[in-house]
Chains A and B, each alone.
Chain A
Amino acid sequence: MTPQRQAPAEPDSDAEADDATVIQLSRHEPEQFTVLFRRHAPHIQRYVIRRLGPDAADDIVAETFLLAFRRRDSYDPARADARPWLYGIATNLISHHRRAEVRLYRALARTGADPVCVPFTDRVDDRVSAGQAGQLIAAALAGLPAGLRDTLLLAAWSDLSYEQIALALDVPVGTVRSRLSRARARLRRTLGDADPSALAEEPQT
């Protein structure tokens, strides 16, 4: 089974309709909601895996879209882009697994091997090791309060604007800015006074 070859051609009409229209349509034609899934699930899944690993991600991604589906009647049709809504639901679901998330960061910080990335190691000669920078980042993420971490990781990994992050987390946009600056400061502190660029490249052997 090779999904690459069997993926159906995207109907052109999908490209026309924005998320709000699709959600409106899905109120009477539930199958329309799968358009939203096809459009956004790949990004949501990547985001969830990066925080919780592949084991938990399948359930959370499915649950994110099923919750959204059940709440589709209350979606604000003025918001053309549904991503803040979906990332918000996913972030709430991730918060139930806070301990598991922190455990994974700590394991990486301690051992240098990242359990999250093992299934995606493609080549036998690839290193599963995240490198020193990865270890330090994991240590910093493990020590962040949940609100700062949610904000920081949405900013780094989701392509949402500050305004959209504010929508997703249901906080004022000013809060997003202040959380981000605090989170970045703590990250910089953990990475040390040394020039972080020195940590960036692992020499290939």
Chain B
Amino acid sequence: MNEMDLLTEFRAEVPLGVSPHAEELFRAGIQDHFAERARLPRTRNPFARIGMRWRLALAAGLAVGLALGVLVAVQPSGQRAGQPAGQPSAEAIGQPSVLTARMLADRAAAAALTGPTVPAGKWAYQRTVTYSASPPRGIPARLTQDIWSTADGSLEYQGGGWSRNAVQPALYRELSSLPANPVAIDRYLARLSYPNANATQTNDEVAAFTTIEQLLSSAILPPSLNAELYRALGDIPTVEVRSHVTDIDGRAGVAFVLPENSQSANLEIILDAKDYGYLAQAAWQPSNGTPNSAIPFTETAVLHTTLVSGPGRTAADLAPPSQAVLAAEQAAIAVLAAGNPGQGTALTHPGQWIYRKLAAAGGTREIWARVDDTSQASYVDGRLVTCARSATCASGIAWLMPAGPAYPVVYPSGAAARYPQLPDDPQALLDKLSTYPAGCADTAAYCNAVSVFAHMLLGYGNTLLGYGNIGVSPLTWYFSLADVPGVTIKHVRDAAGRADVEFSFPVTSGVTGILYNARTYQFAGYLDNGAVTLLLQQATVSGPGVRP
């Protein structure tokens, strides 16, 4: 090997690739020059998260906001805003139509009854397109989004962004528990509008319409309930029908319309003209009082809905949700209900010391380790021994993180934050973690990934809240574990007497089970080759040997 070969290997770890930050700087520079003309292809959508909020504002805000009695600020859209590619429905609202609301409701209800019964925890993948005449800054007028949600709408996932919808599952549950007759549902919907008795008829109608709109667009309801909701739409006195409308995707439809009133713009639920399946919801205002030039203020169309095995998956899967997926959902809801783990209180300083008390086969152990597990300390024969990973004593230490991604990959900061991190998609994360050799050969069963998961949960300090945070949401972890082939769920009582949920993996070596607290879904311990390690206590301390 000559000096040129050595030079070629020098700093060869630096990957080939352009950092997102450099690309942004370049694009910003070009756009400064050609602010108007340059329409640059983007490889990444920096607005993804804002987009989700915007969509939620549209879907939930319009509906729930109105249901709570908040008046939606409808912007006049008379000025020439960019028309969407598929022309919005522009038929005159006053045009007499052959179809009455009740007739349309009956047809839609009959069609709905032929739909499948989908369990509340089943995942659905939807592609939606939202058009907005006056989008928030930075959001394109026409926004296509891929969204995963459970059938009851309680959890929503969008490319690494997770959210919990607290209102919808309650609606779903309560509506599902009603006797299947229109009167009960009408009464329920009417009660939603205002808690006080002074609610006007308009209040009631807007609340009912927007609640139904929300449920139809974002939940997969039992067929009988779905049918009753359509009948309830037909029962709202002022609801009209517009035939021959087109949604923003250009599909022929027929729409229920709640005409503009003191509390809302025109609201529309557009159904497929042929099979009466749900297509889109829209809110719009006639501009300058001339209905023929109406432009939708906003419209969200569902391009397709596919039942899938879990969040992030796109292949159709009709099987009921697995026990592991249901457990992951419980975990996700518990985490979201606990607030916003991993933000604010996460430990990001890699040098911080953490005290941990563990229970293992040999009894209770106390370990002090830095957040990034680069140094460890414990008592040996009554003497505190501290060792750095780079030191010669390191080989005699049982590292909490024996293998896996380096801390800067997991929790990037500074320069590293600008380089690709771990993926936020459950399956992709599992695949990525499988690439770290954790000493087991059963790669098809993801045993390396499972071991790495378990070690990160125990060994990296940002798990102090008990949930872990690896630069992607801890919720993604649960669904990654649920994606491991053959995973099962066991309810166990651990040696410390705690009720745990165990994700149990059909692997022959390495970590075979990960334990979570059955109520909070915080990390409780793991099983490694049959031996249980339980995390009894952890706390930040000022240095090795210091107890909290």
Question: Are A and B genuine complex partners?
Answer: yes
- A binding-site residues for B, Cβ under 8 Å: 1-8, 30-31, 33-34, 37-38, 41-43, 45-46, 49-50, 53-55, 57-59, 61-63, 65-66, 69-70, 114, 116-127, 129-130, 133-134, 137-138, 152-153, 155-157, 184, 187-188, 191, 196-197, 199-200, 205
Assuming the contacts A8-B43, A187-B7, asked whether A121 and B408 have C-beta atoms less than 8 A apart, the reply is yes
Q: State the total of A-B contacts with C-beta under 8 angstroms.
A: 185
The residue on B at minimum CB distance from A70 is B33
Q: Check if A156 sits within 8 Å of B8, measured CB to CB.
A: yes
B8, A1: Cβ atoms closer than 8 Å? no
Instruction: Label chain B's interface by main secondary structure.
Output: loop
* Chain B residues with CB under 8 A of A184: 3-4
Given contacts A116-B11, A121-B13, contact A66 B405 (CB under 8 A): no
B361 interface contact, C-beta 8 A: no
CB of B44 within 8 A of chain A?
A: yes
Contact of B197 with A by CB under 8 A: no
Chain B residues near A7: list those with CB within 8 A: 43
The answer to whether A54 touches B4, judged by C-beta atoms less than 8 angstroms apart, is no
- Which of B17, B40, B402: most chain A Cβ within 10 A? B17
**Cα of A2 to Cα of B33 in the assembled complex, Å:** 29
Say yes or no: B8 contacts A157, CB within 8 Å. yes
Return 5 A-B CB contacts under 8 Å, by A number. Answer: A4-B420, A50-B10, A62-B25, A62-B26, A121-B13
Interchain CB contact under 8 A, A46 and B6: no
Whether B44 and A123, one on each chain, are in contact in the complex, defined by CB atoms closer than 8 angstroms, is: no
Bound state CA distance, A138 and B8, in angstroms?
Answer: 13
B71 at the interface (CB under 8 A from A): no
Q: How many residues of B contact A (CB 8 A)?
A: 64
Partner of A188, one of B3, B401, B420: B3
Contact across chains for A3 and B420 when beta carbons are under 8 A apart: yes
B13 touches A117 (CB 8 A): yes
Q: Specify which chain B residues have a CB less than 8 angstroms from the CB of A63 in the assembled complex.
A: 25
Binding site secondary structure of chain A = helix
Report which of B160, B390, B406, B414 forms a contact with A123, defined as CB distance below 8 A.
Answer: B406
Report yes or no: B8 in contact with A58, Cβ–Cβ below 8 A: no
Which of B14, B25, B414 has the largest number of chain A CB atoms within 10 A? B14
Asked if residues A118 and B416 are in contact (CB atoms below 8 Å), the reply is yes
B373 contacts chain A at the CB level, 8 A cutoff: yes
Q: Are A43 and B16 in contact (CB under 8 A)?
A: yes
Q: Interface readout for B317-358 with A: 1 if CB under 8 Å, 0 if not?
A: 000000000000000000000000000000000000000000
List, in ascending order, chain A residues with CB within 8 A of B34's CB: 30-31
